[in-house]
A and B are shown apart, each in its own frame.
Chain A
Amino acid sequence: MTELADSVHVDAVRQLEYFFYTEADLLDERRYEEWLDLLHEDVEYIVPLRRNVHSQDTGREFTQAGRDILWFDEGKETLRQRVEQLATGLHWAEEPVSRTSHLITNVRVTSRTGDRIESSCRFLIYRNRMETETDIFTGRRLDTVESVDGRWLLRKRVALLDQSVLLGKNLTFFL
């Protein structure tokens, strides 16, 4: 596709960016309860494992939600449990707190129907912990947002990490 986006499309992208930047700030500021409020009650939060495959076999690159082993394949109930765990003050993996920056870029609207927008973007999540523990995770996010009672909520997220062996010791942050 080589045509330039029209103004309707550009508007939608700007709105999405605002949503994603707000979300990123909430996460980086550890305002997790407010972040949960941005999620649809039926949110699907999916981060598959990634395999090293032949260029003609890329259909097998990712493990399948609903069937295989993934880093994350869950809904709002489990995400709430994670937030609750962070709030105990006893979750040693995050005590002391890490410093994160969620950088969101390359935002595109891939489809729009009424109250539902599907999008693609890139993320770069930088995490620094203690003195020198540093992780940089990048990848592509396929997000679906829906308008419910006038509010835009995240309905589905598929985050495709650019790693097969995870090069960080944990995933205590939200993608």
Chain B
Amino acid sequence: MSVLQNGNLKSFNLDGLVDTDTGVISREIFVNEKIFEMELENLFSRAWLFVGHESQIPNPGDYFMSRMGTDTVLMTRDNDGEVHVLLNSCRHRGMRVCRYDSGNTMTFTCPFHGWAYSVDGRLVSRAGELFGVPKLKAAYNGKLEREKWGLVEATSKNYKGMIFATWDSEAPPFEEYVGGFKHWIDNLTDGMTGRPGNTVAFDGVLKWRVPANWKLVVENFLGDGYHATPTHPSVEAVGIGPAGKGKTRHFFDAETEAFATKNLPMTSFVQLGHGATDTTHSDQFWGRPPAFADHPEFTEYFNNLWDEKRKLRLEAGLPMGGFGPATMFPSMSFHALGFPTTILVAHPVSATVTEIWRWFVVDKDMRPDAREWLRHYYLRYSGPAGMTEQDDMENWNYATRASEGAMARRLPYNYQIGLGQTQPSPLPGAVESEGFFTEEHMRNYYRRWQNLVEGKSWSELAATPAPAGHTGG
């Protein structure tokens, strides 16, 4: 039973706003509040969304308050060790049953009228069930059907420690939704050591508000290689990366950068909408840790990890590459190179405001001094205090503001790079660009976006063939 009734999608017409054949997309989709409402109604209501990392809730009763779209949720661990994602709103009058960012409890008691919900399997038959109702006899004559009024539970998936959830119990299973993009997520979960699920999140999630449309945020990581040089010259001038000054914030030198931008293709999932700024074979071109400028003791350590991971992957018949930056449709972006490894979720607040959350991830058994180096690097790289991300946010902010103008919003954005220029990808359902500059990722993303926001059902989408010219090989 789907309490949230996702069977009845509201149909909405976005005709003429998204033209992926000519690469022209209306600005309205980035500033229009009505379209934003339909995103909440038809997209965030059923997409798979990242909620948190299980390392944040190691013990039974642990919980972390998170978000899915504009809804507040609790990521909890029950007494059997299972993870659940519950809508944090009392079924009586809506009060948040939990107002703390994180903590430990098996019972969530609403402060308003005292309804109590449990995740303890010894008390209730499903997580979040309503088991305590004050004055059940006197007020309800004992007649409240408690089993119908539990906290709503999202369909969740624990993928090697990453907790994803959807409100739609009819959504495609997580593996089908992700498809071949799983290799990028595997680099996120398996870290630098490459051992499956061998990663933890650092304690502390960055949360901040940006006056920008959420889609501009995730586009950045989806496949916007084009912005890197013009947006980030100031951080590149100071040398915040492991190779220090003269090398980029990752660790490339000018020659490697030039080679990569010419020769390094990107991967776009034509119908699933995911995108990455590299391929699963990108490890042939880059990724091997550099010589550290100021910490020679790390050069050998990280290179050994790289070699061990390569061995593991080869033995398992799996690719090594696929480090991103990348975006999982619709709103989770990440880096999985190790330099850095970080997960972003763009939570929609309004058409022109987004709340961004950032997690930082590291291998469980990383050597303590290396882990500490990475932690400092992560902090100076990403987030509101990150020297790289600050300049991205300026763009997202004022691109949105300028596009809100009455005349400006009548114009489209240009997404024409790499039109018709794709080559086959070894991954089913994916294409590769011919170089580092393409907007194929965005065209495919927005086609998927339009289909979902217009209210097409999952089965309608599954039956729709990929458009001509986008299938590669």
Contacts and interface: CB of A to CB of B under 8 A. Distances in A.
A54 interface: yes
Contact of B209 (A68, A91, A92, A166): A166
B211 interface: yes
A166 B210 CA distance: 9
A147 to B, nearest CB: 28
A53 B101 contact: yes
A168 interface: yes
A171 B385 contact: yes
Contact of B101 (A51, A69, A82, A170): A51
- How many chain A residues sit at the interface, stated as a range, is 35 or more
B237 A49 contact: no
B395 A166 contact: no
Contacts of B378: 69
Contacts of B231: 92
A72 B100 CA distance: 23
Interface string B22-45: 000000000000000000000000
B235 A68 contact: no
A85 interface: yes
Nearest to B210: A169
Nearest to B99: A52
A165 interface: yes
Given A72-B385, A81-B380, A165-B208, A90 B203 contact: no
A71 B210 contact: no
B314 to A, nearest CB: 34
B237 A84 contact: yes
Given A51-B102, A69-B360, A171-B385, A93 B393 contact: yes
A68 B100 contact: no
Contacts of B379: 69-74
A85 B238 contact: yes
A29 B466 CA distance: 57
A93 B391 contact: yes
A25 to B, nearest CB: 23
A171 B395 contact: no
B208 A168 contact: yes
Given A73-B376, A170-B390, A90 B233 contact: yes
A105 to B, nearest CB: 24
A82 B387 contact: yes
B293 to A, nearest CB: 12
Given A54-B100, A63-B203, A166-B209, A92 B385 contact: no
Contacts of B203: 63-64, 67-69
Interface in A65-122: 66-74, 78, 81-82, 84-85, 88, 90-93
The 6 A-B pairs of least Cβ separation, nearest first, read A69-B204, A166-B208, A91-B234, A93-B390, A63-B204, A68-B203
21 contacts: A51-B100, A51-B101, A52-B100, A54-B103, A63-B204, A69-B378, A70-B204, A71-B383, A71-B384, A74-B376, A74-B380, A78-B240, A81-B387, A84-B237, A85-B237, A88-B234, A91-B234, A92-B394, A92-B395, A167-B208, A170-B393
Interface of B: 99-103, 202-211, 231, 233-235, 237-240, 355, 360, 372, 375-376, 378-380, 383-385, 387, 389-391, 393-395, 397-398
